[in-house]
A and B are shown apart, each in its own frame.
Chain A
Amino acid sequence: MAYTTFNRQINDQMKEPMFFGNPVNVSRYDQQKYGIFEKLIEKQLSFFWRPEEVDVSKDRIDYQNLPDHEKHIFISNLKYQTLLDSVQGRSPNVAFLPIVSLPELETWIETWAFSETIHSRSYTHIVRNISAEPHKVFDDIMLNEKILERADDVTRYYDDLIDGINLYQRCGEGTHTINGETLSISLYELKRRLYLCVMSVNVLEAIRFYVSFACSFAFAERELMEGNAKIIRLIARDEALHLTGTQHMLNIMAAGEDDADMAKIAKECEEEAYAIFRKAAEQEKDWAQYLFKDGSMIGLNKDILCQYVEYITNSRMQAIGMKAIFSTTQNPIPWINTWLVSDNVQVAPQEAEISSYLVGQIDNEVDGGDFGDFDL
């Protein structure tokens, strides 16, 4: 019940459930109950990148020349992504590590959250470059109502789970009076909160990032803010992997072989799961409206973006065995896919491995004149 950082109970890790079994003792990867998490760790490690690898210096000029309504689109998306990655950089660790029971899953959670911290660092890299006053951008996140509205739904399920775990690990199942307040918790209720939390994280990574991704790539299609787009591609590549991670967790839970309670909970929470998807999609459509309130950008407007939200919502729901809730069946912006292909972001190995090679070493300013004295 209480958490211990090195559980002395000798146990067969292959027989533990994903969550709420014995806390993990030996971090060993010679055997895995779910090999997929080991593979996800390896993939995520192979994806490692640093924001400084990407030259964003041309973006400063591009940004200064953007009309105000496009500046608003660009900077609002950055703020929103900063919020999302602030949450994702810490919450999987805080919420899931105290209750995880498999070493490969524990390390996957840590690897996943760590990569989110790289995303957060990349936003500072971008903002520092385009603005002489980066603090104003970050300070506004805590004041911007449109962003805070979303923060509530993004964090609620994490907070409910974390709160329940704290009570359970301190006092155990039952009704407890703490500081004059009467609180109840059961293991079953905790598992329910866990399921809903993983579902909400899945939705966050499946839908919430993509409005912003679409805008970044729409700028880059016009050869604007291309440094930013390169970073967003790396982030999108990571997010696709994280999404696969939560999809596996949800599917393992729903199958019930890992923990029979979870299959029951998955059924009981079906309606709530649909509601989480629906609400996120509606919020993202509202966000599209806020982005384009002063004008659209070339190649993208509110309606197209809303259709895209519906399209990816359907596809993400079907991935975890749910039914589509929107009638949209066509991707209204098929060009986005070429920005999301992973082999196009692959860098040469020498560029990815030696950190000193990465920083400011690559000259992005090349034009036809540079090949003037080049003969074959």
Chain B
Amino acid sequence: MPSVKLSNGVVINFDGSAQTLLEALERKKLEVNFHCREGYCGACRCKLVSGEVNYINEPLAFVRKGEFLPCCSVPVTDIEIEIP
């Protein structure tokens, strides 16, 4: 079960009950910006400090190095992220 570490020290276990990283963050009442939730708008862009994520749907939005879209991804390894 990969863990998701936030810059404020909070750690969430991605236990598969949430479909995507965005859902997992929202269940912990963390505020992440979002619009489309499908990977084409890029509104939920977050920083991926370490670790690896897998995309359920390949995002259409531009994702630069060191960033990822939580709305359409799941963690593969333990990850450390930063919500803007």
A251 vs B62: C-alpha distance in the bound complex, in angstroms?
8
CB < 8 Å neighbour of B60 from A43, A237, A251, A321: A43
Determine whether the beta carbon of A342 is less than 8 Å from that of B37.
Answer: yes
Report if B61 contacts A (CB, 8 A). yes
Q: Knowing A247-B61, A251-B64, A321-B64 are in contact, say whether A341-B35 is a contact too (CB < 8 A).
A: yes
Residues of A within 8 A of B60 (CB): 36, 39-40, 43, 241, 244
- Measured between beta carbons, the chain A residues less than 8 angstroms from B43 are 240, 315, 337, 340
| Residue A243 lies at the interface, judged by CB distance under 8 Å to chain B | yes
- The answer to whether A247 and B40 have CB atoms under 8 Å apart is no
Interface presence of A248 (CB below 8 A) = yes
Q: A251-B64, A334-B31, A337-B35 are in contact. List 16 more A-B contacts (CB 8 A).
A: A39-B60, A240-B40, A244-B41, A244-B60, A251-B62, A315-B33, A315-B43, A320-B62, A321-B64, A331-B33, A340-B34, A340-B36, A340-B41, A340-B43, A341-B34, A342-B37
Does chain A have a CB within 8 A of B42? Answer: yes
- The closest CB in chain B to the CB of A311 belongs to B33
Give the shortest distance, in Å, between A179 (CB) and chain B (any CB): 43
**Interface CB pairs A-B, < 8 A, 29:** A43-B40, A240-B43, A241-B40, A244-B41, A244-B60, A244-B61, A244-B62, A247-B42, A247-B62, A248-B62, A315-B33, A315-B43, A315-B84, A318-B84, A319-B42, A319-B45, A320-B62, A329-B84, A331-B31, A331-B33, A334-B31, A337-B33, A340-B35, A340-B36, A340-B43, A341-B36, A341-B37, A342-B37, A342-B38
| Cα distance, A43 to B61, chains bound together (Å) | 12
CB neighbours (8 Å) of B36 from chain A are 237, 240, 340-342
Contact with A along B27-55 (1 / 0, CB 8 A): 00001011111101111010000000000
CB of B77, distance to nearest CB on chain A (Å): 26
Smallest CB-CB separation from B38: which chain A residue?
Answer: A342
| Chain A residue, CB-CB nearest to B44 | A337
Cα-based distance from A334 to B57 in the complex (angstroms): 25
Residue on B with the closest CB to A39? B60
